[in-house]
Structure 1
Amino acid sequence: MPTDLSDLQLAAELVREAGLLARRMLAEGLETRHKTSISDVVSAADHAAERLVVGRLRDERPADGLIGEEGTDEPASSGRTWYIDPVDGTYNFLSGLPYWCAAVALADAEGPVLGAVYHPVTDELWLGGRDQPTTCNGVPVPSLTEAPLSQLSVASYLHPATLPDPGSRLPLLAVIGRAATVRMLGSGSIELASVAGGRLGAWVQHDSMAWDWLPGAALVSAAGGSTAVIEQGGHRWHVAGNRTAVADAVDTIRAARADSSSDDLA
């Protein structure tokens, strides 16, 4: 039966329940299946956690659309869609590494409405959105302060398939080269939550999927930060952080593509 929960309260329950279910299933033992590569893995916990979230949303928000990493795709009649990543960082999850989470986002025609990320290993629940400043376990995070990319860490993901492609490799290396340091944790939603919380400085990744991007992007925006999605060099680049750092990263991506185009013509 539907409840009187707000969207944010519902999102909080969804990610906590999904994360705890996945953790419990991991402790009991899981089989791994590979999708597109040796590092692109899925388990029964991914599917079970997605079914849990989808089932609740069908009851609580029947007019909303649903899109999940593990195959859910149901259109909306309300103009709103929930994006579900039941286990973000499955490779870490199955390898015994601590950087994995459950994440959801709600979006409408104007963009992200809210994001929710639950990190079971640390028991941290991140919530934030258009009408709700970002919190971690109910405590508001400080608003992001302005700083250039050169003074910040940048988080990203470098897949081996990135290396042969200059359209992705060159801009990414250019951004990393301008930053103070780089971190790759293997979970986009944890990285973006860490940007919102001031633990990481900025986030840059190309061709991110909506369920990897929207939950954390909502948190960064609600923490006073900035997000950008730009088309460059045959890729869609997703950037988040404080406004100065985002502008630095966007300019760097565009300049790197211009430089590589000039080299190709030489």
Structure 2
Amino acid sequence: MAIEKLAHAELRVPDIEKAIDYNVNVFGLKEMGRIGETFYLGCGFDNNYDLALTPGGAGIAHFAFQVKNDDDLKFYKKRVEDYGIKVEERTDAEPSEKKCIAFDLPATNIPIRMELITVEDRPAYFNPAFSPNRTLKGAGPHDLDHLGLKVANPKILAQFLESALDFKMSDIFMPAPGVYGAVWSRVQEYHHELAFMGGVGGPTESLDHIAFLFENIDHMKRALDMLALHDLKLEFGVGRHALGANLYAYYWACGNRYELSAEMPRVVDDQAETLIWNDITKSMSSWGVQMPASFKNGS
């Protein structure tokens, strides 16, 4: 049994019409469906959605990881229930979704819903020449890459993800021995698909950032030039993280922080020990770029 990949995320936004216009016409996603007041958008490489937008505030409403089949769902449902967490089962709840188990994560500031899902469209790999829904406009991300959550206790959440869902912890920031300030975790070979930070920001924050995959630094540069036509103001970057080593560029849009990400490294040794960092400033940039003071804030 194994969880396969980050599937999608649902964000709360203060103005749904502006958020749809931005994410479709500027960022380059395609509308994939609508249920009630929630709009579903995709990067276009398959028939599954990557980003849902819901009116009302900011931050993350829920996110999902994809599993292979119903047996995986049953296996992890029991694991989560054995942990003492209530699990809900749903069928065909969202576009292109077959089955789902949903539960609230422990140790968060406010409730954050996590799902494990099976999907109708399971391409063996992405082929840009045969992607059915690409719009080839706007910034044009390739896929949803990873999430950064704001939580109350990263250590408790890391223990749950590791013991119940088989996540592996790639890197941990420890400001003091045994104290988890932030964690970067993975389910397969890419360094991190779910990061989570604690100890800073407000008590109602749930999202640090949502990151989308770009091909390389040239793709990021073209995307940032496109975004500059629409009043882009970079918060941090362009740079390369020391922790994780991916390229990054952060900015705010529609009430939430976005990251353009490229060159996420693979963890070639699946049994590699977790790397521990005690200096968050050094970990954030291989090139010595200093984080802005605003970077402690989430949504």
Name the TM-score class by shorter chain: 0.3 to 0.5
Which structure: greater helix fraction? 1
| Higher strand content, 1 or 2 | 2
TM-score by length of 2: 0.30
TM-score, normalising length from structure 1? 0.33
